[in-house]
Amino acid sequence: MIHFLAGVREGGSETLAKSLAYRLADAGHEVDIYTNYGGVRFKDTVNVIRLPYIPMPIRHLKYLSMMLTFSMFAAARIVTRKYDIVHGFFYVDSFLPFLAAKIRGAKSVYTFGGVLDKEWRTGAVADKSVALASASHGIYNDLGVKDIDIISNGVDTEIFQRNESVRRSLRKTLGIGNKLAVLAMSRPDVIKDPQLLHDVIAASPKNVIFILIGISEIEPLRGMEAKNVIKLGRLPNEEAKNYYSAADVFITTSKSEGMPGTLLEALSCGLPLIATKVGGIIDVINEKVGFFTDRNPKTAAKIIAKLEKNRTIVKRMSAECRKYAMKRFDWRVLAKRYEDLYNELLKK
């Protein structure tokens, strides 16, 4: 597996690559991860190969040169190794390793992490491509990438499940009591539309508590002063996941998305979802587990008011969320689909 940033940070595609690697290793396969030097640790069930890179001392080319030289080292190593499958997750660091795989006689698989204008070229080089959602599948198919499978992002349902002890403790500490608590957790990025979230909060009942993690560090949320808003800023992943247990509902107001991991983590923890109808979110939400909202803040506010008045709906949907996550998005289920894909590819 090739992922330059998997050793550096724990974002969406990085977590996807690591989670898949762990599940394949658990199934008895030998898995190597080629990545960069960094502070992210890995389970000892996979073999981590940290490769060097050479940055150019030019601001606009520094990151690109790092990725390209990393991919050159990865490709050189792949040519000398006997791999059956080379799997990539980002277009810059995967392109050269895929060419090396062809030289060595290995098959290559590329997972489209999102929708990037240059990503289709790497997908076209791979023997097989995977899209996380129907929306990105359609886009890349139109760009000329053929034979694309759809395998969604996943979640570790053993790690992400409601902990009642943590729930009681955090709700007491935060002073939530029996009030409805709505969680918004994402990086502080304008693509997450903090303005819409701000307006949803302003239009919602004042006895509903909003817990903001990460996204609270961007305006207008950073400067928002409201008694029913708890702003926690950026938190380490291990700490942040506890707030899924503390909350009752999860909301995201993004303008664009691939397949957000936080949405699936919330689902696995039994949180009914309120989300804008964009990207891979369209493939996740149905009437049993959540609600779609538009860009009118009053729409989401009415949904929240409805849930605040009728907690029976929240309880019923919570149980459905957990069952749905385990059946469709558990990494054990998705890893088996990748395993089947690999085996079919090797038969050709």
CA 263/CA 130 separation, integer angstroms? 20
Over residues 67-89, the mean pLDDT reads 96
For residue 132 the two structure tokens come to 């996380």
CA 140/CA 110 separation, integer angstroms? 12
Q: Is the pLDDT of residue 114 over 80?
A: no
Q: Is the pLDDT of residue 118 over 80?
A: no
Cα distances from 318 to residues 29, 265, 331, in angstroms, run 35, 13, 20
DSSP state for residue 234 in the 8-state scheme: -
Q: What is the pLDDT of residue 223?
A: 95
Over residues 324-332, the mean pLDDT reads 96
Alpha helices in 105-160 (DSSP H): 119-125, 134-142
DSSP state for residue 18 in the 8-state scheme: H
Q: Is residue 5 within 8 Å of 90, Cβ to Cβ?
A: yes
Condensed to tens digits (0 to 9), the pLDDT of residues 9-54 reads 887 889 899 999 999 999 999 999 999 999 899 999 999 999 999 8
Whole-number CA gyration radius for the chain: 21
CATH fold for domain 12-154+330-347? Rossmann fold (3.40.50)
SS3 content of the chain, % helix, strand, coil (to 5): 45, 15, 40
Comparison of pLDDT for 118 and 185, the residue scoring more: 185
Q: How confident is the model at residue 313 (pLDDT cuts 50, 70, 90)?
A: very high
Cα distances from 66 to residues 50, 138, 261, in angstroms, run 13, 31, 26
The answer to whether 12-154+330-347 and 164-329 have equal CATH topology is yes
Condensed to tens digits (0 to 9), the pLDDT of residues 237-257 reads 889 999 999 999 999 999 988
Q: What is the pLDDT of residue 69?
A: 94
CA 65/CA 63 separation, integer angstroms? 5
CA 218/CA 265 separation, integer angstroms? 23
CA 289/CA 28 separation, integer angstroms? 34
Q: Is 267 left (phi over 0), alpha (psi -120 to 50) or beta?
A: alpha
Domain 164-329: state its class.
alpha beta
CA neighbor of 170 nearest in space, from 214, 162, 207: 162
CA 94/CA 282 separation, integer angstroms? 28
Spans of all domains in the chain: 12-154+330-347, 164-329
Give residues with Cβ within 8 angstroms of 79, minimum separation 6. 100, 103, 104
- HSE at residue 178, side-chain half, CA atoms within 13 A, is 3
Q: Is the pLDDT of residue 128 over 80?
A: yes
Q: Is the pLDDT of residue 117 over 70?
A: no
Q: What is the pLDDT of residue 55?
A: 85
